[in-house]
């Protein structure tokens, strides 16, 4: 080891030393690794990305070098020498995507620590000539400053490294969280004020507590989702089961393909109607009043569904017609609610810009609204899936008492949400409607398309180009519209995910019915999806994300969405494996329940496979939702202009309708023995979509902070001049 180290040191020269550690590791880790010596070197290495990492011997600084030349000035540590020996480390590392960069960082760090036993060999080697390393440092420093366009202060020209790089930072204080980033060159921002660029780059970012009104809205959503999933989760069996009850509770007897088709139509309709709800909210009624109106439609639809599922109604043939009418009315109601309740909960949080805060332990942190919005939608989605646990009860009620009892319970729970919404109405922050904003948006969009210029709708552009017709908006409105269009571009790929997601409430139910249930209803297995979300959401929000932030790794929206696509692909791959196992087992192999051996009187026998092996598929799709669906809700709100929050949310929800339409086209393949290839094809599509999505939109993550600039001057909404109260959700 010592021999190798000496050979490495022999080939090391001042002009070929690459200060790579500052780029590979978070600043806090890099400082801890610094083993100070009496060696200084000036390095010059060209890199393609034009970034520069430099230091004054006490900590790493960052800057941009012109013409793609990177410099480093630092005391050379053992770890740096190890990395500097082979410049290929840097290029190897930089070739990775940000998602994999942290892994390569960890590997390099581990190798660096293992090599620490050679430090004495490095620094005691007679082959390292300190004087030679400092030779010509003045020429190199002058070249450095010429490249950067900096003027070297006279009092700093005697610096050992040959030039002024940054004011010295007290090393003890720089390692103390209380004084972290207290560089006199940048100054210290008081609490409550917006942080400077240096503080944004170095201080830990945190979220804030949620307003009490946000929790109330989350409870309302919980009751609505309890109703939706409790009823919709039974539709597959309700439509396909025989009226005689041969394969379970008495149903409409329309078969599996009809059940899948009608179920997908219902899902499609539920995600088309949000556009209507958004237009009404943004232009006429506001979000709160629109939610109340559509709750009325929802209430009527539930009454129709319950009454026509009663045994006496089904005996008189009212079941099928009642079901069709019910899902149309319920779909109208839930769509109007969905496009408004997600932005309404985020409206309760009023901060629009970052701010400095000093924690009780003295640590200075940056309050980041993006993290708070992420937290809001994590809690919102968690409550959605608490409501989805209604599927723990409704399948048993279906099995032992009939479908009508389950629908009655859903109706009762929905009334709890309506009462909460009405009684607590004075606590909600509600944005007033913006008039003809949606109409104006489409007119402005038409002008952009006609001129093939996104600025063509701006009054300033029109005036400069001789367009005399006045428009009822200003330049800022057009900037907001462009911002909304940017957000909508991200949603183009979402339908592929919704095709994957839709499998768990349709074909996965059929798959479960092809296995030995051992007393477990086949539609009960769906509960592993919300259960996995309830378990993993707090783990990801409270454990995974904070750990990554402390390590200097921020999973921005595009990266999170990409992970969601890949997890959905993993879910479908596993479902294909399960289907292969089912087809490989008797008694009916590729046609479960259809052969003579699979018949027991009027009862169809499943293949000899335990239903429990399906569980991981629901867990994978649940975790994928945390990354992709929660992020979609967050992205639709934070990237939409204030006047179009509900509308952009409805566009996001509309992608689900496209997904249902694609799934509808695949219904003809939703039969034995084609399920295996259906799952395989959809899974591959999701994986490939994730790769393409990341390749196209990954640069959006680098611009995440700048996307909040248009909201900086937005006024805070209050009720009677009082800020919304907050409660500690932790």
- 39 pLDDT above the threshold of 70: no
Look at residue 390 and tell me if it is in a domain.
Answer: yes
Q: What number is the average pLDDT over the span 436-464?
A: 87
120, 139, 167 - which closes a domain? 167
In a domain, 453, yes or no: no
Within a domain: 133: yes
**Residue 267 and residue 119 share a domain:** no
Q: How much is the mean pLDDT over the chain?
A: 75
Percent above pLDDT 90 for the chain? 34
Q: Are 224 and 130 within one domain?
A: no
Domain-ending residue, one of 143, 167, 191: 167
The pLDDT score that the predictor gives to residue 120 is 37
Answer yes or no: is 229 within a domain: yes
More confident residue, 503 or 571: 571
Nearest to 607 by CA among 578, 584, 640, 575: 584
The CATH number linked to 231 is 1.20.1250.20
- The β-bridge partners of 610 are 516
What pLDDT, on a 0 to 100 scale, did the predictor assign at position 380?
94
| Domain shared by 704 and 650, yes or no | yes
Shared domain for 162 and 210, answered yes or no, is no
Q: What is the pLDDT of residues 1-25, one digit of tens each?
A: 444 444 434 444 433 333 333 444 4
Domain shared by 163 and 214, yes or no: no
Q: Which of 166-170, 369-373, 458-462 has the lowest mean pLDDT?
A: 166-170
Is 387 a residue whose pLDDT tops 70?
A: yes
Total number of domains constituting the chain: 2
**Statement to judge: residues 421 and 539 lie in one domain:** yes
Residue 159 confidence (pLDDT): 42
- Residue 610 domain-assigned? yes
Residue 671 buriedness (CB in 10 A; 0-12 / 13-18 / 19+): middle
User: What pLDDT was estimated at residue 488?
Assistant: 86
Q: What is the pLDDT of residues 526-570, one digit of tens each?
A: 889 999 999 999 999 889 998 998 888 888 999 999 999 999 999
Is residue 677, in this structure, part of any structural domain at all? yes
| Domain extent for 156 | 2-167
Find out whether 357 and 207 touch, Cβ atoms under 8 Å: no
Q: What is the DSSP string of 329-389?
A: HHHHHHHHHHHHHHHHHHHT----S-EEEE-TTS-EEEE-HHHHHHHHHHHHHHHHHHHGG
pTM of the model: 0.67
Question: Per the domain annotation, does 705 fall within a domain?
Answer: yes
Distance set, CA 418 to CA 223, 287, 295, 300, 339 (Å)? 9, 15, 7, 13, 17
CA distances from 632 to 236, 374, 650, 652 (A): 27, 10, 11, 7
In this structure, what token pair is assigned to residue 507?
Answer: 């074909």
Residues 141 and 218 grouped into a single domain: no
- Residues 118, 227: one domain? no
Instruction: Give mean pLDDT, residues 70-91.
Output: 40
Within this chain, do residues 148 and 262 fall inside the same structural domain, yes or no? no
d(CA 357, CA 50) in angstroms, rounded, equals 33
- Name the H helices within 584-644: 615-638
The answer as to whether 174 is a domain residue is no
Domain termination residue (choose one: 167, 197, 227): 167
Residues 214 and 314 in one domain: yes
Whole-number Cα distances in Å, 358 to 8, 355, 367, 372, 480: 46, 10, 10, 17, 34
Residues 7 and 118 in one domain: yes
Which range (129-138, 416-425, 613-622) has the least confidence? Answer: 129-138
Helix (H, G, I), strand (E, B), or coil: what is residue 85?
coil
Residues 154 and 210 in one domain: no
| Least confident piece of the model among 295-299, 629-633, 707-711 | 707-711
For residue 345, the model assigns a pLDDT of 94
């Amino acid at each position: 080891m010592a021999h190798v180290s000496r050979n490495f040191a022999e080939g090391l020269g001042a002009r070929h030393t690459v200060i790579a550690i500052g780029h590979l590791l978070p600043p806090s880790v890099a400082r801890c690794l610094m083993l100070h010596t009496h060696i200084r070197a000036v390095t010059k290495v060209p890199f393609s990305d034009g970034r520069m990492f430099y230091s004054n011997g006490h900590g790493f600084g960052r800057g941009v070098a012109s013409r793609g030349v990177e410099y480093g000035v630092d005391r050379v540590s053992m770890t740096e020498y190890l990395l500097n020996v082979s410049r290929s480390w840097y290029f190897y590392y930089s070739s990775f995507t940000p998602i994999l960069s942290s892994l390569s960082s960890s590997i390099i760090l581990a190798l660096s620590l293992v090599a620490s036993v050679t430090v004495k060999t490095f620094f005691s080697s007679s082959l390292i000539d300190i004087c030679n390393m400092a030779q010509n440092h003045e020429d190199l420093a002058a070249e450095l400053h010429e490249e950067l366009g900096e003027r070297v202060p006279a009092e700093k020209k005697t610096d050992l490294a040959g030039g002024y790089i940054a004011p010295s930072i007290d090393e003890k204080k720089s390692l103390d969280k209380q004084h972290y980033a207290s560089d006199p060159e940048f100054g210290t921002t008081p609490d409550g004020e917006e942080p400077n660029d240096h503080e944004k780059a170095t201080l830990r970012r945190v979220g804030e507590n949620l307003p009490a009104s946000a929790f109330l809205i989350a409870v309302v959503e919980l009751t609505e989702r309890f109703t939706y999933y409790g009823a919709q989760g039974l539709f597959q069996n309700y439509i396909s089961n025989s009226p005689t009850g041969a394969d379970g509770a008495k149903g409409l007897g329309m078969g599996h393909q009809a059940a899948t088709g009608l179920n997908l139509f219902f899902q499609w309709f539920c995600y088309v109607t949000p556009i209507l709800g958004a237009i009404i909210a943004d232009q006429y009624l506001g979000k709160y009043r629109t939610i109340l109106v559509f709750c009325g439609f929802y209430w009527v639809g539930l009454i129709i569904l319950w009454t026509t599922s009663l045994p006496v109604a089904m005996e008189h043939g009212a079941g099928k017609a009642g079901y069709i009418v019910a899902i149309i009315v319920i779909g109208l109601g839930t769509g109007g609610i969905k496009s408004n309740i997600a932005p309404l909960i985020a409206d309760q949080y009023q901060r629009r810009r970052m701010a400095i805060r000093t924690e009780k332990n003295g640590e200075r942190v940056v309050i980041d609204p993006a993290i708070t919005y992420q937290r809001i939608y994590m809690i919102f989605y968690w409550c959605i899936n608490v409501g989805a646990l209604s599927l723990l009860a409704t399948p048993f009620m279906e099995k032992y008492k009939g479908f009508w009892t389950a629908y009655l319970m859903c109706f009762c729970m929905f009334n709890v949400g309506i009462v909460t919404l009405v009684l607590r109405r004075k606590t909600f922050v509600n944005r007033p409607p913006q008039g003809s904003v949606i109409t104006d948006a489409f007119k402005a969009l038409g002008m952009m398309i006609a001129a093939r210029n996104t600025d063509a709708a701006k009054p300033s552009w029109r005036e400069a180009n001789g367009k005399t017709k006045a428009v009822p908006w200003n330049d800022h409105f057009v900037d907001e519209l462009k911002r909304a269009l940017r957000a909508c571009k991200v949603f183009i790929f979402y339908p592929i995910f919704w095709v994957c997601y839709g499998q768990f409430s349709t074909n996965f139910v059929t798959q479960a019915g092809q296995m030995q249930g051992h007393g477990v209803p086949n539609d009960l297995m769906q509960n592993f999806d919300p259960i996995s979300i309830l378990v993993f959401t707090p783990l990801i929000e409270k454990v995974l994300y904070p750990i990554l932030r402390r390590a200097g790794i921020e999973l921005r929206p595009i990266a999170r969405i990409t992970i969601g696509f890949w997890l959905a692909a993993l879910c479908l791959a596993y479902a294909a494996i399960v289907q292969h196992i089912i087809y490989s087992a008797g008694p009916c192999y590729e046609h479960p329940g259809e052969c003579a051996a699979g018949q027991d009187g009027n009862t169809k026998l499943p293949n000899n496979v335990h239903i429990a092996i399906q569980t991981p598929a629901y867990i994978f799709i649940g975790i994928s939702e945390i990354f992709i669906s929660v992020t979609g809700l967050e992205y639709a709100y934070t990237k939409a202009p204030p006047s179009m929050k509900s509308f952009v949310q409805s566009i996001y929800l509309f992608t689900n309708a496209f997904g249902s339409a694609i799934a509808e086209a695949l219904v003809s393949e939703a039969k034995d023995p084609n399920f295996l290839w259906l799952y395989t094809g959809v899974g591959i599509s999701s994986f490939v979509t994730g790769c393409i999505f990341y390749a196209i939109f990954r640069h959006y993550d680098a611009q995440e902070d700048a996307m909040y600039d248009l909201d900086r001057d937005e006024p805070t909404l209050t009720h009677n001049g009082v800020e919304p109260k907050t409660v500690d959700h932790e």
